[in-house]
Structure 1
């Protein structure tokens, strides 16, 4: 097995904590304990951020991220609500951890892919081209720039749903690994099943490739509807 080279940029302790969470993920982690791919009305989802975080509290999830496309407003709204809820709660330690998240369009070996960013500083100047509610262009659109920007902002970069693109995971994952990506969204439901579950064939294929390059595994429902536990 090849071991991924550690990032050259000093990693914040919170990001190291999230890295450890990703390292523990398996096929049963989502959607009842973790969910690292969720959308709100601030991109192409149907849920209000407060509705989403209320579901996360009720479920309850231990960790989640709102990953709106090129937008961070949903995170701020959900975080404010969660902080207020925690201040009123007798058991704030039992509430979910909400991580910063985003989904960014990028070009990887001449193929448009989506790169998920986690645990980054949303105010960092490196992230500003990617939080304007629109796809970037030029150098900013290149996967190497997206990955570098997420790292500069202290975060982790993950290749979303690797089996949904024009080129295969066998092509895309090694190319992303060569650019320093941290992980891949290994556990993903490509058939939109209800209840949600990761697609076995694609999961096994992607897991093996990711392991070859020492990459982390993540999971998420990619929810765009009114339930965080399923995609649509």
Structure 2
């Protein structure tokens, strides 16, 4: 269904295909009334989009998706409705940018050695949008560079051969613990949301342990309506929300037009028995 709220999406400030301005215009065309741009580890997308959103009459919420590690597993925490200029959020952006820089250097070195082809990091960064966020490159940017260099025919091959799990370009960044990300968001006056928890390869027991730590650190919401999640997955997230007394958030996780039909505002219907994260926003 189409939702008027989309609180999880990406722009060229991280790994999205549309510029912040174009994303806002698309959201308006799609009937989205309240939007949060949650680029990976940066608030630049929000900052760039805000004037356009104000001009279009779209309610734009400050957002970010922070990369973290819990129990050796990459876990993403979405921050919503915080002060983007707070010391805590500026610190989060600085620390995450440094972690991404270090990771990118290692990926470039490993791919260069594996392919016996000079992978220049500045060329990969040029694919990141050309703004401050261009330094926030990830594996999709490396994959696109390999395509541009004629080293692989498509994105799927790039990940299958060089960037997927266990391959040369699968480099683990020195991300902070999940608790640290939650504390940054809370200190910035925002709401910490457990992102797409149904996608983590955890046992039920391990996921509950992760949620225990998330809540203890100050996390207060979980995504209960997300992109193309199925009814079983949504039921699991709804149960967690109820068991922990968490509010629910929603989002498409839109990165750009794709063949699967996922677009801004596309997600399952929001559960009626879960309090939405926006309930107490002014």
User: Shorter-normalised TM-score: what interval?
Assistant: 0.7 to 0.9
Higher helix share goes to which structure? 2
Q: Assess, with a 3 A threshold, how the Cα gap between structure 1 residues 106 and 97 changes in structure 2: closer, same or farther.
A: same
Q: Does 1:134 align with 2:97?
A: yes
Greater relative contact order (Cα 8 A, min sep 6): structure 1 or 2? 1
1:47-58 correspondence to structure 2 within 5 Å:
47-58=18-29
CA distance 1:73–1:35, change in 2 (3 Å): same
Structure 1 residues 135, 201: closer, same or farther in 2, change over 3 A? farther
Shift of 1:178: 2.5
Corresponding residue for residue 239 of structure 2: 208
- Alignment: residue pair count: 185
SS at match of 1:123: coil
- The residue that corresponds to 2:55 in the other structure is 84
Task: Give, in whole Å, the separation in 1 of the partners of 2:253 and 2:193.
Answer: 14
Counterpart in 2 of 1:228? Answer: 264
Q: Give the secondary structure class of the aligned counterpart of 1:210.
A: helix
Q: Which runs of 5+ in 2 are unaligned?
A: 100-172, 258-262, 268-282
- Pairwise CA distance, 1:68: 0.2
Distance 1:135 1:102 in 2: 16
Secondary structure of 1:126's partner? helix
CA distance in 2, matches of 1:112, 1:228: 25
Q: Could you say which residue in structure 2 is the equivalent of 1:42?
A: 13
Task: Specify every segment of 5 or more residues in structure 1 that has no aligned partner in the other structure, as ranges.
Answer: 1-27, 86-94, 193-197
* TM-aligned CA distance change 1:129 to 1:166, over 3 Å: farther
Aligned residue number for residue 184 of structure 1? 222
The CA distance in 2 between the partners of 1:229 and 1:32, in whole Å, is 5
Instruction: Write out per-residue CA displacement over residues 211-230 of structure 1, whole angstroms, 9 at most, x where no aligned residue.
Output: 11100111111001134245
Q: TM-score, normalised by structure 1?
A: 0.72
Q: Secondary structure at the match of 1:151?
A: helix
CA distance in 2, matches of 1:109, 1:172: 8
Query: Following superposition, which runs of at least 4 residues in structure 1 exceed 6 angstroms of deviation?
Result: none
- CA displacement, residues 27-60 of structure 1 (integer Å, 9 cap, x when unaligned): x6xx431101010011001011111111222222
1:62 CA drift (Å): 2.0
TM-score by length of 2: 0.60
Q: Quote how far apart the aligned CAs of 1:74 are.
A: 1.2
Contact 2:92-2:184 within 8 A present in 1 as well: no
* Residue of structure 2 in register with 1:143 after alignment: 178
